[in-house]
Structure 1
């Protein structure tokens, strides 16, 4: 689960500094008040080294009894200052252990509660360039960060995802146990954004076996592997290399077209493509006559172009793919 606050290393260093400060303060109190202390093993008085020795055995509650306060002033200083410092020292180290155990229990409880409550979330397999872009699009469309689960084997990538407030799972997504931890059996969709096409096929097969009804969107580098992804159970397959190549080719002759496409694919600026249900007042009408710029109509599980004769008259339950202003809230 996503975490915020100081890093464990910094927290540990802070606790060590507090403990050393308590030891040093105790040693200085004893050293400057050394006339009120007696060393049963020496007649030369209390040196600075003796003071540090006394502070270590005192704050750690070992108490050998070889150096003891005998004057009233020394005992008063021990009562008012050394005892609180002893408590600070103990609380610092005992508290670290207790906090570690408590944190593990809290994390386990938080994960269990999340897994029991999360439904219809999105699982992102791979948090590279494609995975990050998919997450940015989902967040731009209003998705809650806690409803996005990132699965990856790279710790640095998972740390970056956690910094965005996303839930992260460490492991190989080709293993069914890892996808179960990500809650894929209760997810609405899974985005397969791995760097290798063979890995994408294995992840798709595993996800489809665990969740027969889930929507699987996969990315491949080579178009010849598209049929493998579809046979494995992917609902949508995007060829990243060919898509980028088409945009590069179009940019050489019609750069304005590429700018419009990039604008439509950027959810937080300009225009964006969105989806909404048909309103009651629009039933029976043509999608070409609406105020919105409609690109297509989803009827059942099939997408029809706006000029298809089968969708000349809109029906209840249809969904419209339309162009909206990215700055305005989604109507969906």
Structure 2
């Protein structure tokens, strides 16, 4: 039996010698994203039990010949990471965003990059609307009150601070695929949509505001759907929040650092804005605990992409991108 096991191991090693090496760069369990039959076409390397630089130091022979990386959005691919992988030709991210990837360095090195495309757009839009309804109608706060045996009829629950969504003016920051999906859903509630984006979109009739402050001034709600970069970091600051006003609500399903979080907390606690629905946070995976005691805030653990359907879809997509690249075919969802 021992000889048979040794033969099996040798057979697997010989087979792997002829397969492209794919490094998994993500949390424990992330390797499950690459499923059969795609996983059987590559030599999979998983460093989740070690920081990447330590893995590279102890497995230099592997890292020197890694052809592709499959990464999670919470695991940065910086210039330092790229230097550890001199043979890298492809980076596939399972994230909708690319702020964790040094795209400029990838271009310089000739590394192709594939993303999640529009895989998560509908789910993230659903969550954005869900968060908004929850904040406005205080569903989570009411649930907590009832569970704590606080009766609504006793007026201990603040019914006067509940708002309806119908007819509200909603400003969307970033009118890409997710932003458009949010807009379409909110139109069904009779909401009046306007937006801010890098440029005016010719294919929509929604009013366009070139300034986020101006957008906030003219709306009851801001929904953040834009990318995080040097220009958008902390774009939602105190000036924007005060422009939104005391009854205003902010929903963020994009990236946490779009909001100056300390200023958001101050405005929420001082009731300078009405509330917030947050799926993302400035220092993920850490969440500022001061949010926990606020009934005008609804929190979600970066779960906009977590439906079963999206998980199955991204498993297929990352495998198809890897397969296409190593078959000399066009990437399915190219970024670079």
Taking structure 2 as the reference length, what is the TM-score of the superposition? Answer: 0.28
Who wins on radius of gyration, i.e. which is larger?
1
Higher helix share: 1
Relative contact order, higher structure (CA 8 A, sep 6+): 2
Taking structure 1 as the reference length, what is the TM-score of the superposition? Answer: 0.28
Higher strand share: 1
